[in-house]
């Protein structure tokens, strides 16, 4: 790799105009002697978050020349190998020799995990105590597993999901006024748009008729780059993989068992082993294309004996990919709430009482040595007595058994506080809950 090419890339960024940005809530706080990773699905906005980070540094007084940003999908870096990585800081410090070891230098590496064996280079940079490293990637390996192990515990990671409702409102310049009648009306209309459109940043200013086509292209790119190319030795059968992933997405917010999917696919003439499907499931989760939720239990045996529920990285993406009628809006609504709980840093499970009544989410967040347990039911409309009874019945026994600190039913637009068998239950409209103060940007 020619050092002059790397220097040109470094200088091009330092002299360029930053693109227009909608501020994201995910905080990036460098930790001494550790890299910071922003991880999430393709097209979730990781690249733009690096621009926001650079802007934040400059606002804090960091000189633009102290930022070295490299995008690893730059066509000029097609031939870059792991052995060439050390030329990045060589090229940078050849431009600014007076800064080496004397000033904080911020290295921003977008999608560096495309270069196999990159971890040792990041550790090399961290040996320079004035070097700060931010990396992005579309693989959960940056959170745990082989890559995290390769960094020897010197990496701190945070997830970046598609736009939250708060970020969505910020983009469209809608005031988060949850108190006045006019503010509530505007937020209700915006929530309808959010449910219909989804949270991927690239869709926000496009005509609605282009949304489905773009979401389909996102999915195809994820499958190609994050599944097939990421696992070249696996000889992935794209037809079988597509049928399996479509089967999962069609069950968004629903119970899923691999064995039942096998039976259905074999009935349609598609044959492959359960082991293969579990491996494909792992790949989908690793690439942040979908997530699975287990039954709440401290026993691994109990968790494994119960079905899982699946949620997509974006409910509109799932609806665009699933054949026929897509994903029912009420299930998209549940998917939306799941993602917000995940965004807030909760560990999420579901629960089923001894009577067989389900609670959609048990949300657990550690606070020091203790932890809070909260129950969340999701119901688009509690407009009949039977629906109301169905949504409430599981909460008292679940709350008593799990010793919860909060019990909520999130609806589209209903609001009340009620007491059932001595258990307080909040019924909250989603447009208010999604903007509530508990929505911590970097929980």
Q: Give CA–CA dist 57/2, Å, rounded.
A: 29
The answer to whether the beta carbons of residues 37 and 155 sit under 8 Å apart is yes
Q: Give CA–CA dist 177/184, Å, rounded.
A: 7
Strand partners, 36: 134, 156
* Residues found in the chain: 443
Q: Output Rg (C-alpha) for the chain, integer angstroms.
A: 23
- Which pLDDT value is given to residue 438? 45
In 3D, which of 98, 96, 93 has the Cα closest to residue 124?
93
- Which pLDDT value is given to residue 362? 98
432: left (phi over 0), alpha (psi -120 to 50) or beta: alpha
Instruction: Give the pLDDT confidence of 130-188 residue by residue, as tens digits.
Output: 999 999 988 766 665 555 666 878 888 899 999 999 999 999 999 999 999 999 999 99
State pTM to two decimals. 0.94
pLDDT at residue 441 tops 60: no
Q: Give CA–CA dist 18/51, Å, rounded.
A: 7
In 3D, which of 179, 195, 175, 176 has the Cα closest to residue 329?
195
pLDDT at residue 369 tops 80: no
What's the mean pLDDT when you consider all of the chain?
92
Element at 418 (helix H, strand E) = strand 416-420
Both structure tokens of 183? 């503010």
| pLDDT band at residue 437 under the 50/70/90 scheme | low
Instruction: Give the pLDDT confidence of 228-266 residue by residue, as tens digits.
Output: 998 999 999 898 899 999 999 999 999 999 989 999 888
């Amino acid at each position: 790799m020619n050092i002059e090419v790397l220097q040109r890339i470094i200088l091009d960024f330092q002299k360029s105009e930053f693109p227009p940005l909608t501020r994201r809530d995910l905080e990036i706080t460098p930790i001494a002697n550790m890299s910071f990773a922003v991880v999430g699905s393709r097209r979730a906005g990781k690249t733009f978050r690096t621009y926001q980070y650079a802007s934040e540094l400059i606002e804090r007084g960091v000189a633009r020349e102290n930022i070295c940003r490299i995008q690893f999908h730059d066509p000029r870096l097609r031939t870059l190998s792991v052995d060439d990585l050390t030329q990045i800081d060589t090229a940078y410090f050849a431009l600014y020799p007076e800064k080496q070891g004397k000033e904080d230098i911020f290295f921003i590496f977008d999608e560096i995990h495309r270069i196999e064996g990159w971890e040792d280079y990041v550790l090399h940079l961290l040996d320079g105590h004035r070097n700060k490293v931010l990396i992005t990637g579309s693989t959960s390996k940056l959170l745990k597993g082989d890559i995290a192990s390769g960094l020897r515990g010197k990496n701190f990671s945070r997830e970046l999901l598609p736009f939250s409702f708060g970020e969505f409102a910020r983009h469209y310049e809608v005031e988060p006024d949850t108190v006045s009648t006019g503010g509530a009306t505007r937020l209700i209309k915006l929530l309808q748009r959010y449910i219909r459109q989804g949270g991927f940043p690239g869709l926000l200013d496009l005509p609605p008729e282009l949304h489905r086509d773009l979401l389909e292209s996102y999915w195809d790119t994820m499958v190609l780059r994050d599944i097939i190319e990421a696992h070249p030795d696996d000889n992935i059968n794209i037809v079988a993989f597509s049928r399996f992933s479509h089967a999962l997405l069609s069950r968004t917010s629903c119970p899923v068992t691999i064995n039942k999917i096998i039976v259905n696919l074999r009935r349609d003439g598609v044959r492959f082993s359960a082991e293969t499907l579990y491996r494909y499931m792992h790949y989908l989760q690793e690439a942040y294309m979908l997530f699975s939720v287990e039954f709440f239990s401290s026993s691994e045996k109990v968790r494994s004996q119960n079905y899982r529920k699946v949620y997509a990285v974006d409910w509109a993406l799932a609806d665009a990919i699933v054949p026929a009628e897509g994903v029912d809006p009420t299930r998209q609504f549940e998917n939306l709430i799941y993602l917000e709980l995940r965004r807030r840093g909760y560990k999420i499970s579901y629960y089923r009482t001894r009577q067989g009544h389900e609670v959609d989410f048990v949300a657990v967040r550690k606070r020091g040595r203790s932890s809070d347990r909260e129950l969340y039911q999701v119901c688009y409309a509690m407009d009949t007595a039977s629906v109301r009874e169905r949504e409430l019945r599981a909460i008292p026994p679940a709350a008593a058994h799990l010793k919860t600190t909060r019990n909520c039913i999130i609806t589209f637009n209903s609001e009340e506080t009620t007491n059932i068998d001595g258990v307080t239950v909040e019924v909250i409209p989603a447009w208010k809950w999604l903007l509530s103060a508990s929505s911590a940007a970097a929980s």
